[in-house]
Amino acid sequence: MKVKIVNRSPWPLPEYATIQSAGMDLKAAIDEPVVLSPLQRAMIPTGLYIALPEGTEAQVRPRSGLAAKHGVTVLNSPGTIDADYRGEIRVILVNLSDQPFTVSPGERIAQLVIARYERAEWDEVDVLDETVRGEGGFGSTGR
């Protein structure tokens, strides 16, 4: 699928790290390091602007390495970029650790996954069909 992109960052375009990668790394397009104190959040620019095909979205997801090693994640994960959005892609990072974390210029801060979606059309009814699971949720099917 072709996606139009404007790159106003000093970094190359995002790319897939391996042949079967679902996401492309987004990099911090900042001039100076940004220090995130414990429990602090910041909106980090990427310098990227995209125009997605109709029927698709871009999902901004955390990088597992940042989460596992540093307790840093994407706050509204996954963040959705709609096909009609034309602003800069920015990543809301939050530091959930007890130590400050420094985001450096060009650091890989999140992943971008492009996905197709279906639009729902409501069919309002008075009663839903019965299933074995019924109203069981929030851990009802296992530990």
Per-residue confidence in pLDDT tens, the chain, 143 aa: 999 999 999 999 999 999 999 999 999 999 999 999 999 999 999 999 999 999 999 999 999 999 999 999 999 999 999 999 999 999 999 999 999 999 999 999 999 999 999 999 999 999 999 998 888 877 777 66
Measured between alpha carbons, how far is 38 from 69 in angstroms, rounded to an integer? 14
User: Hey, which bits of 85-137 come out as E strands?
Assistant: 90-95, 101-103, 108-116
Domain positions in the chain: 4-116
Q: How far is CA 89 from the centre of its chain?
A: 10
Q: Which among 54, 45, 133 is positioned nearest to 92, based on CA atoms?
A: 45
At residue 143, the pLDDT reads 62
- Block residue for tokens 């530990």: 143
Measured between alpha carbons, how far is 70 from 94 in angstroms, rounded to an integer? 11
Question: For the structural domain made of 4-116, what CATH number should be given?
Answer: 2.70.40.10
Collapsing DSSP states into helix, strand and coil, what is residue 140? coil
Put the strands of the sheet holding 41-45 in their side by side order. Answer: 41-45, 90-95, 72-74
Structure tokens that stand for 39 in this block: 């429990």
